[in-house]
Amino acid sequence: CGNPREHVMTDKMRLAVFPGMFDPVTNGHLDVIRRGATLFDELVVAVGDNPDKTPLLPQADRAAILREIVADMPNVRVETFLGLTVDFARKLGATAILRGIRNSSDLQFEFQVALTNRVVAGVETVFIMTSTEYAFTSSSLIRQIASMGGDVSALVPPQALKRIRAACRKSNADHTLHETH
């Protein structure tokens, strides 16, 4: 009974990639991960590196923090990657790229990327609207607040807080050292 193609499709594992710099990971990211994990058989949190940016935390540290955070989520794993997200997604055999949307500016940018990824690589993008309590949160804002000694504990998972504070202390000490010489 039914269309045999539909049966084949339902037997295929639905793997999605949630890419980002996660510098640092935020409670908003964690919200998208938790909700995305319910939509897919497997979710790969893909920690990227952008050569045009100087991250607060090295890629390996960002991945380690995320592995701690998702340790209790059996269908979520963390991997690092370099290069284009769509190439990484194809390599894994992902059926979708998962993206969180906070506002209309995010949507405008992500819409263009999603269309391009579908045309270039045949990979769909699934958008999850962020929960309202995280709509204002961004990693760059958190980095700025933390670097100036502000309290970001309400904005990031506890696993990330200690590393963020240590990285900011080191960065501020390095900056002070350079100013005195």
Q: How many whole angstroms separate alpha carbon 8 and alpha carbon 4?
A: 6
Considering the candidates 99, 139, 143, 163, report the single residue annotated as catalytic. Answer: 139
Considering the candidates 62, 102, 143, 163, report the single residue annotated as catalytic. Answer: 102
In the residue annotation, 162 being an active-site residue is answered as no
In the residue annotation, 139 being an active-site residue is answered as yes
Angle between helices 104-121 and 85-92 (to 10 degrees): 50
- β strands within 2-146, DSSP E: 15-20, 42-47, 76-80, 96-101, 124-129
In 3D space, the residue among 33, 25, 55 whose CA is nearest the CA of residue 139 turns out to be 25
In the residue annotation, 102 being an active-site residue is answered as yes
Considering the candidates 12, 53, 162, 175, report the single residue annotated as catalytic. Answer: 53
Considering the candidates 29, 99, 143, 163, report the single residue annotated as catalytic. Answer: 29
For the annotated catalytic residues, the residue numbers are 29, 53, 102, 139
